[in-house]
Amino acid sequence: MAARARTRPPMSTVILLNKPFQVLCRFTDPSERATLAEYVDVPEVYPAGRLDYDSEGLVVLTDDGALQHRISDPRHKLAKVYWVQVEREPSDAAIAALEGGVEIRGQRTLPARARRIAPPDVWVRDPPIRVRAAIPTAWLEIVLHEGRNRQVRRMTAAVGHPTLRLIRQAVGPWSLGGLRPGEWRHGDPNALAMLQRGRPPRRRSGRPGASRRRSEERR
C-alpha cells in the first residue's frame, strides 16, 4: 500500500492593525459609525479582544479561533502595553498605586507595571485632545495582564489623573511598529507560541496594508 502523503495544516492568518480614534472594534454597526471594515478587507478574520471606540492603537485579528482565545482570554494573562496621556504629572505614590492595584467597582486590579515616559513619537490625533493651559499633561506606559472594561481609564482616574489619550502599543509578542492609523500588516502566527516557549518571535516581511478607502483610490 502506498504511503499516504502528509499535508501540513494551513497557516493561520494574523493581522496587526493600528485602529484609529473613534472606530468600533468590530465589522458592523447599525448606527453606521466607523468600523474595522473600512480598514481591513481580509476575509474571515476577527479581533482577538477589543479596544474601546475612543482608544487607538494595536488590534490583533485572526482567523484562528484557538489563537483568538489565547490572546483574548484573561486567564492567559497576556501582557498588553499602553501609552497613556494623563492630566498632570503623576507622583511616585500614584505610580505605586497603579502598580499595586486600585479598586474599580469593588474589585482590585491585578499588579501592573507603570512608569513615566517621554512623550512618544506618535501621530497627531484627529480630533486632538482637549488642552487646558493651566493643567499640564504627562505620558505613562502601563502594562496590564488583564482586560476589564475601560480598565486603564478607570485606573488613572482612581489615582487622580484622568486619561486624555490612550494608545495600545503592544499585545504579547506583537507591536505597532511603524504602522500609521488605519494601516495594517501581517503578523507571525507562531509568535505567541514561540514567546511562551522562551524563543524570540520571527519577523515577517511584507508591505503594510492600507485601508480599503486608500486601496480604492489607487485603482
Pick the CATH number of 12-78+172-214 from 3.90.1150.10, 3.30.420.10, 3.30.70.580, 3.30.1370.60: 3.30.70.580
Rounded Cα gap, residues 64 and 12, in angstroms: 6
- Of these residues, 52, 63, 64, 188, which one is catalytic? 52
Of the chain, the percentage scoring pLDDT greater than 90 comes to 71
In this prediction, residue 159 carries a pLDDT of: 97
3-state secondary structure of 36: helix
Q: Range with the lowest mean pLDDT among 44-53, 69-78, 87-96, 152-161?
A: 69-78
DSSP-based three-state secondary structure for 162? coil
Topology adopted by domain 79-171 = Alpha-Beta Plaits (3.30.70)
Q: Say yes or no to pLDDT of 88 above 80.
A: yes
| Known catalytic residue at 41 | no
Domain boundaries, the chain: 12-78+172-214, 79-171
Any residues with CB less than 8 A from the CB of 155 and at least 6 apart, and which?
Answer: 98, 102, 104, 109, 112, 142
